[in-house]
Amino acid sequence: MTQEYRSVFLDRQGAVGGSGIDANVAAHYGAPTREARDLFEGKAVADLSHYDVLQLRGEDRLTWLNTLSTQHITGLKPGESTQALLLSVQGRVEHILNVYAAEDLLWIITEPQHGPALQQFLDSMRFMSGVEVEDLSLTHGVVASTVAKPELGDVVWKNPWPDVHVGGFAYSTPDHPGSEREWYEYIVPLTELEQRVGQLPLAGTMAVEALRIAAWEPRFSVDTDEKSIPHELDWIRTAVHLDKGCYKGQETIARVHNIGHPPRRIAMLHLDGSMHTLPAAGSPVMDGERVVGRVTSVALHFEAGPIALATLRRTVKPEAQLEVVDGESRYPAAQEIIVSPDAGQVAGRFTGFLRTPPTAK
């Protein structure tokens, strides 16, 4: 989606525009915490019409995408959803693909403003394959909900988070808060956006982010940087198939998982609520006088209060007394482990938070 796009819902009463990559839709409609509760309870839907949408056609679409991505795509049946990553040779995350299979094509949802680069990369890898790539971001967008809403359409990607996909592996505790939130993303023509949503209450991106952070789910381009590898973010559970064939970056995936450790790990921070403000994304996380990480996402949750996701050094002790520093403000932060400090080195051992995936049905 280009910067020229502007959601029609920004004309709704109370709408306040977002910022950054979410600038083209509403951050909220006057009551962000209430909107988050309504979204969580399935009463409201979220306008994510600025997300980019691509389409893959051609008889080789499944096998071709399978060779490029971290996920096993070949067996994907019409109506099924999955998540995949495209990595650099060094195993760093370059693109995320939320994939929905239709009868004769694949739909791909990716982050705002990333569609053109994704299309360019996919086109560069077509060679003689029978596949066509089309960026539909100017004509299609996304509406999201925590419950199935058939009135929004029949092209719907169901988020696998936090289930451990067949071939995946969990680096976090089995008692995962993400299991409390289902997530559906409906691909709709932009010309039908208002008609599909109708009179359903709307929630802004602040509500979406609050639920996502509480579910420990990372967001590409928000919680990642040019060095991020899937292990650090617990994406092995949903977006990586450890037993599939060769793809770019596979060596790093296997090496870190089996005999190494990711150098960093994502963590949840519960921030001091007495400050009445929130630190900015990018604020340093301190352990005493040492910078040990950065806040990547922050939100005010309707139950948990001020919360954040942060990328920390792997060696930061779980019991460390952390602070987030934003200018003159210092926010005491209680750490909640997502990716275990022991993540990796699973060859010959299964201990701590690490666990094997469920048996395929």
38 with 126, same domain: the answer is: yes
- Report CA-CA distances (Å) from 310 to 221, 229, 299, 325: 13, 15, 12, 13
pLDDT of residue 359: 46
What CATH number should be reported for the domain holding residue 314? Answer: 2.40.30.110
Backbone angles phi, psi at 130, to 5 degrees: -85, 75
Quote the CA–CA distance of 1 and 319 in Å, as a whole number: 42
User: What pTM does this model have?
Assistant: 0.94
d(CA 67, CA 307): 38
Q: Do 20 and 145 belong together in one domain?
A: yes
298/167 same-domain check: no
CATH number at residue 67: 3.30.1360.120
Domain count, the chain: 2
Query: Quick check: 306 and 273 in contact, CB under 8 A?
Result: yes
Q: Are residues 218 and 291 in the same domain?
A: no
Residue that the structure tokens 């005491």 belong to? 332
Residue 286 included in any domain: yes
What are the phi and psi torsion angles at 302 (to 5°)? Answer: -70, -20
Residues 134 and 210 in one domain: yes
E-assigned strand segments in the chain: 16-17, 26-28, 45-48, 52-57, 81-87, 93-101, 105-110, 132-135, 140-145, 156-158, 184-189, 202-203, 264-271, 284-287, 290-301, 305-313, 322-326, 329-337
Do 110 and 222 fall within a single domain?
Answer: yes
Half-sphere exposure of 47 (CA within 13 A, CB side): 33
Say whether both 227 and 320 belong to one domain: no
Q: Which two tokens stand for residue 294?
A: 């950065």
Q: What is the pLDDT of residue 349?
A: 56
Tell whether 276 and 210 lie within a shared domain. Answer: no
Domain that holds residue 35: 8-239
For residue 280, the 8-state DSSP code is P
**Residue 237 to residues 87, 110, 149, 208, 294, Cα–Cα distance (Å):** 16, 19, 26, 21, 23
Per-residue pLDDT of the chain (361 residues), as tens digits, is 545 899 999 999 999 999 999 999 999 999 999 999 999 999 999 999 999 999 999 999 999 999 999 999 999 999 999 999 999 999 999 999 999 999 999 999 999 999 999 999 999 999 878 999 999 999 999 999 999 999 999 999 999 999 999 999 999 988 999 999 999 999 999 999 999 999 999 999 999 999 999 999 999 999 999 999 999 999 999 999 999 878 999 999 999 999 999 999 999 999 998 888 999 999 999 999 999 999 999 999 999 999 999 999 999 999 999 999 999 999 999 999 999 999 999 986 544 455 544 444 3
Backbone phi and psi for residue 276, each to the nearest 5 degrees, phi listed first: 65, 10
Q: How far apart are CA 357 and CA 296, in angstroms?
A: 28
Whether 190 maps to a domain, the answer reads yes
Q: Which of 248, 143, 145 is nearest to 188 (CA)?
A: 143
DSSP 8-state class, residue 355: B
Asked if the structure places residue 90 within a domain, the reply is yes
User: Residue 49 domain-assigned?
Assistant: yes
The residue from 205, 239, 273 where one domain ends is 239
Residue 356 inside a domain? The answer is: no
Q: Are residues 215 and 309 in the same domain?
A: no
* Structural domain contains residue 165: yes
User: Do residue 75 and residue 179 come from a single domain?
Assistant: yes
Do 286 and 224 belong to one domain?
Answer: no
- Whether 69 and 218 map to the same domain: the answer is yes
Query: Which DSSP helix (H) or strand (E) runs through 194?
Result: helix 193-197
